[in-house]
Amino acid sequence: MKTINIIGLGNVAFHLIQKINTLPNYKLQQVAVRNRENAKDILASNQIVTQISDLQTADLTIISVSDEAIKQVSEAIPYQNQLVVHTSGTTSMEILRTHNRRGVFYPLQTFSKSRKVDFENIPLCIETTNENDGEELKTLAYQMSEKVFMISSEQRKSLHVAAVFVSNFVNHMYSIGNEICEENEVPFEVLHPLIQETAAKIKTLAPLKAQTGPAIRHDEITLKTHQEFLKNETYKNIYKTITESIQNV
């Protein structure tokens, strides 16, 4: 039985805690939180500590706090020579203090506490300084998810930039579409199936091959009509910029 400590009670920690509690070969030993009250619903009271210095040695410690706090938190861990990982997509592994063996356990998904997460489909990106620790993390990861990847800090950085494009920027495209619909009294739900199909397509088709629309067709009449239609200068600029990018690929 391997023991695990978790530090933090944010969105990622919240889901990790519940998942680890279901795993037969792991024991969630302690969770360090700021506020004991917030943790009571999902943890037994003897699992909760409010000081990192009260954590007892565990085989694995998962730091799941805001990026800015990772360094300081890792320095406060009272034991040494154990495996300590963070769950951040943007933070280098090197930021962790070297009195413990370092690693990263990054679940690549948007989490919110109110939405149930199907862990099996979440890619877990793993990095460690030594191979044994890599195997340990992989063993844990494969009990949570079918999708486990060894990803270096440098690759993780690129992945995070890519994620901004395919998730944050995509969502902003949805926002603009929604706004255009509202202004013209068209229900946004008319576009829902198109949105789902566009996302579903790339599971079987490379996005470059899936590209459709007036830009890739060089349909200059439609492109002109659309740009004249857009009164919002920012959206008009986005329309032009992305259209040119599609045409230059």
Segment 195 to 224, residues that bind a second copy, using CB under 8 A: 195-203, 206-208, 210-216, 222
Nearer to a second copy, 96 or 151 (CB): 151
Judged by CB under 8 A, does residue 175 bind a second copy?
Answer: yes
Q: Which of 35, 154, 218, 224 binds a second copy (CB under 8 A)?
A: 154
Minimum CB separation from a second copy for residue 85, in Å?
A: 18
- What residues contact residue 147 under an 8 Å CB cut-off, 6+ apart? 121, 122, 123, 124
Which of 25, 41, 131, 193 binds a second copy (CB under 8 A)? It is 193
Check residue 152 and report its DSSP letter. Answer: -
Give 2 or 160: the residue with its C-beta nearer to a second copy: 160
Taking the least distance from each CB to a second copy, the nearer of 31 and 105 is 105
Separation in Å, CA 34 to CA 37, 38, 49, 82, 154: 9, 9, 8, 23, 31
Query: Does 125 sit near a second copy (CB under 8 A)?
Result: yes
Angle at 92 between CA 91 and CA 97, to 5 degrees: 105
Minimum CB separation of residue 117 from a second copy in Å reads: 9
Alpha-carbon span 71 to 69, nearest angstrom: 6
3 strand-pairing partners: 27
For 156, the token pair is 């993780």
Choose, by CB under 8 A, the member of 54, 69, 178, 224 that binds a second copy.
178
Nearer to a second copy, 37 or 116 (CB): 116
Single out the residue of 9, 5, 6 nearest to residue 41, CA to CA: 9
The amino acid present at 62, given as its one-letter code, is I
- Which element (helix H / strand E) includes 170? helix 170-183
What minimum distance in Å lies between the beta carbon of 74 and a second copy?
19
By CB under 8 A, is residue 146 in contact with a second copy? no
Q: Which is nearer to a second copy, 23 or 170 (CB)?
A: 170
98 lies in the binding site for a second copy (CB under 8 A): no
Task: Name the token pair of 15.
Answer: 């889901």
Q: Give me 182's structure tokens.
A: 């509202």
The interface mask with a second copy, positions 47-86, x = CB under 8 A, is ----------------------------------------
Q: Does 229 bind a second copy (CB under 8 A)?
A: yes
Query: Position of tokens 């990192």?
Result: 52
Per DSSP, 184 falls in state: T
Nearer Cβ to a second copy (54/183): 183
